């Protein structure tokens, strides 16, 4: 795993082998940030939320690229400890919360401009739809972008009316949901 760009460009990060995670591949992450570069010239004015943060791969990338704030949420204490350790070593201002993503989305006040979620690939479409509704209604700022990373088997049977794009990179799919469809990707 590596940080692709920003303050810590090309920095390799080695997470412990015992973390129960499936990190976003460098290939898929690079493709994602190429898509985002077309929409955001920089991240310095944007608040970012990373749900199911795991290793913090996406959080670290946004923080390295200068996001205004980065919040990482994961239910696993070892994941949170790893994110805290790396963000401290690299002097990146990442705030962490050890909490279930749905619980966080239902109970936190405030909004985010960019929300990334990488739930377990075995999550049901119904649970993804519930997560989308919670995030869309409670956490996503007007004009904000919600990105769900999922497998090709997910989100086939349901429609997300706010969906603006879907991109496939190997076995990884990114679905983009926008609070205000006027802006487009």
Nearest-angstrom CA–CA distance, 171 and 93? 31
What Cα–Cα distance (Å) separates residue 56 from each residue in 63, 87, 95, 178? 10, 9, 11, 23
The rounded Cα 42 to chain-centroid distance in angstroms is: 17
Nearest-angstrom CA–CA distance, 90 and 161? 39
pLDDT in the model for residue 114 = 97
Helices (H), 25-141: 26-37, 57-64, 77-89, 101-107, 125-134
Nearest-angstrom CA–CA distance, 68 and 144? 14
The rounded Cα 181 to chain-centroid distance in angstroms is: 20
Q: Which residues are paired to 61 by β-bridges? A: none
The rounded Cα 133 to chain-centroid distance in angstroms is: 16
Q: Which residues contact 161 (CB under 8 A, 6 or more apart)?
A: none
pLDDT of 28 above 70? yes
Mean pLDDT of 157-166: 77
Q: Pick from 40, 34, 46, 35: which is nearest to 71 by CA? A: 46
Please state which CATH number belongs to domain 42-178: 3.40.50.150
pLDDT of 157 above 70? no
Domain spans of the chain, in order of start: 42-178
pLDDT of 159 above 90? no
Q: Pick from 35, 185, 16, 51: which is nearest to 128 by CA? A: 51
Mean model confidence pLDDT for the chain? 89
pLDDT in the model for residue 182 = 55
The rounded Cα 60 to chain-centroid distance in angstroms is: 10
Q: Which of 33-37, 93-97, 169-173, 174-178 has the lowest mean pLDDT?
A: 169-173
Asked if 136 and 146 count as a contact pair (C-beta separation under 8 A), the reply is yes
pLDDT of 181 above 80? no
pLDDT in the model for residue 62 = 97
pTM, full prediction? 0.91
Half-sphere exposure for 37 (CA within 13 Å, toward CB): 11
The rounded Cα 51 to chain-centroid distance in angstroms is: 6
pLDDT of 37 above 60? yes
């Amino acid at each position: 795993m590596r940080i692709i760009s920003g303050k810590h460009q090309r920095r390799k990060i080695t997470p412990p082998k015992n973390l129960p995670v499936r990190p976003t591949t460098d290939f898929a992450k690079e493709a994602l940030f190429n898509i985002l570069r077309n929409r955001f010239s920089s991240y310095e004015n944007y608040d970012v939320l990373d749900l199911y943060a795991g290793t913090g791969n996406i959080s670290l990338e946004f923080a390295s690229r200068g996001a205004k704030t980065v919040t990482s949420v994961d239910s696993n204490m070892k994941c949170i400890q790893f994110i805290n350790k790396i963000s401290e070593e690299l002097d990146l201002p990442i705030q962490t919360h050890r909490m279930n993503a749905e619980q966080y989305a239902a109970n936190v006040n405030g909004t985010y401009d960019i929300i990334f979620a990488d739930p377990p690939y075995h999550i049901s479409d119904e649970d993804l739809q519930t997560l989308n509704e919670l995030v869309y209604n409670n956490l996503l700022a007007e004009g904000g972008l919600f990105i769900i990373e999922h497998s090709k088997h997910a989100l086939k049977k349901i429609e997300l009316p706010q969906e603006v794009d879907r991109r496939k990179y190997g076995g990884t799919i990114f679905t983009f949901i926008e609070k205000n469809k006027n802006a487009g990707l």
